[in-house]
């Protein structure tokens, strides 16, 4: 009988010499990345490394930097980053949908899975009819917020600089870290919710903000001489009026909460990456980039999900919601 070929010893399909070589390279990168960072430089002050290995001290800035003007309107680096996200989504959607197949490829299957998951989320929260109508806006918010965060992790964001009249500025900045972008998204969410509620329920939608029926009834009872029931109606009506004002105030508070939730988490993540890359660059920063990918997904889901919940509550009649 022919002898069976000897199996090569190794790990994970790699030969022992290759595995040793990869381990040596990995350890060398770890040592160099630690030595190139601020933490390593403070411990090994006598070790001098080339300038291209060292990273500049981070200077996070909250205001977005103006890159150029169009008809007198300032265009900031965060606006340019938002344009990059829009162009990416348009090109990506076109590339996926221009040759649709009955048996999808990997890219088409992944895209269909994402859209199907978002569609099921909308219908499970708002019902089949409403979910189908809310799906386009909710999905657009999810994709825009998510890809703003994910594309902001690519090389070039925060590293490419251009010279302008105002000096040297960064060309690209993650759009979610400029408070104006989360505020604009929050305003879009607010207008979408209020417009949908008024369009669906008409004047009945305003009853949860302006409810003077009980107060007018109590006032009428007082003029008729029914003091007990009249004052009780005035008291109940006063509570209803106060509750309506509180409800209206809550609607506007949503703008603030949506804005600062997204802005705060994205800005904190950017500062965390800058600090980690400065202290211990390269390999030690990789886990934090993975964390930011997860945070970007969570923030997109929260923003789109809260908008979906708010608009679902808006189309429920006030009397039905009270029960």
The answer to whether residue 22 sits within a structural domain is no
Domain that holds residue 184: 66-322
Predicted model pTM: 0.81
CB 281 within 8 Å of CB 36:
yes
The CA-atom distances, in angstroms, between 140 and each of 178, 196, 258, 265, 300 are: 19, 17, 16, 20, 10
Q: Indicate if the pLDDT at residue 317 is higher than 70.
A: yes
The answer to whether residue 108 sits within a structural domain is yes
The answer to whether residue 126 sits within a structural domain is yes
Rounded to whole angstroms, how far apart are CA atoms 51 and 209? 63
The answer to whether residue 155 sits within a structural domain is yes
Q: pLDDT by residue (tens digit) across 253-309?
A: 999 999 999 999 999 888 888 887 777 776 677 788 888 999 999 999 999 999 999
Helix 286-314 crosses helix 180-201 at what angle (to 10 degrees)?
20
The answer to whether residue 123 sits within a structural domain is yes
Give 317 or 133, the one with higher predicted confidence.
133
Q: What is residue 1's predicted lDDT score, i.e. its pLDDT? A: 47
Mean local confidence (pLDDT), 6-10: 52
Q: pLDDT by residue (tens digit) across 95-111?
A: 888 877 777 778 888 88
The answer to whether residue 52 sits within a structural domain is no
The answer to whether residue 33 sits within a structural domain is no
Which spans in the chain are helix H? 16-36, 38-43, 77-97, 106-126, 128-151, 180-201, 213-223, 227-279, 286-314, 318-322
């Amino acid at each position: 009988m022919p002898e069976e070929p000897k199996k090569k010893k190794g790990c994970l399909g790699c030969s022992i010499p290759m595995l040793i070589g990869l381990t040596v390279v990995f350890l060398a990168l770890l040592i160099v990345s630690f030595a190139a960072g601020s933490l390593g430089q403070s411990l090994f002050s006598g070790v001098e490394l080339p300038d291209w290995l060292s990273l500049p001290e981070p200077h996070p800035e909250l205001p977005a930097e103006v890159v150029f003007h169009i008809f007198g309107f300032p265009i900031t680096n965060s606006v340019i980053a938002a344009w990059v996200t829009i162009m990416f989504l348009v090109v990506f959607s076109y590339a996926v949908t221009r040759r649709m197949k009955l048996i999808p490829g990997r890219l088409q299957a992944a895209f269909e899975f994402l859209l199907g998951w978002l569609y099921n989320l909308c219908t499970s929260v708002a019902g089949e009819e409403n979910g189908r109508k809310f799906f386009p806006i909710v999905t657009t918010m999810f994709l825009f917020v998510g890809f703003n965060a994910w594309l902001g992790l690519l090389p070039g964001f925060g590293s490419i600089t251009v010279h302008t009249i105002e000096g040297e500025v960064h060309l690209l900045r993650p759009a979610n870290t400029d408070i104006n972008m989360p505020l604009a998204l929050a305003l879009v969410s607010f207008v979408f919710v209020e417009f949908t509620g008024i369009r669906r329920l008409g004047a009945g939608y305003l009853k949860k903000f302006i409810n003077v029926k009980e107060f007018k009834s109590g006032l009428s009872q007082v003029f008729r001489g029914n003091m007990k029931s009249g004052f009780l109606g005035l008291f109940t009506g006063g509570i209803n009026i106060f509750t309506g004002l509180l409800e209206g105030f809550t609607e506007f508070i949503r703008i603030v909460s949506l804005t600062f939730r997204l802005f705060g988490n994205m800005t904190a993540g950017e500062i965390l990456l800058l600090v980690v890359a400065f202290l211990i660059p390269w390999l030690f920063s990789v886990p934090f980039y993975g964390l930011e990918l997860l945070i970007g997904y969570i923030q997109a889901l929260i923003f789109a999900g809260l908008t979906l919940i708010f608009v679902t509550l808006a189309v429920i009649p006030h009397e039905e919601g009270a029960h």
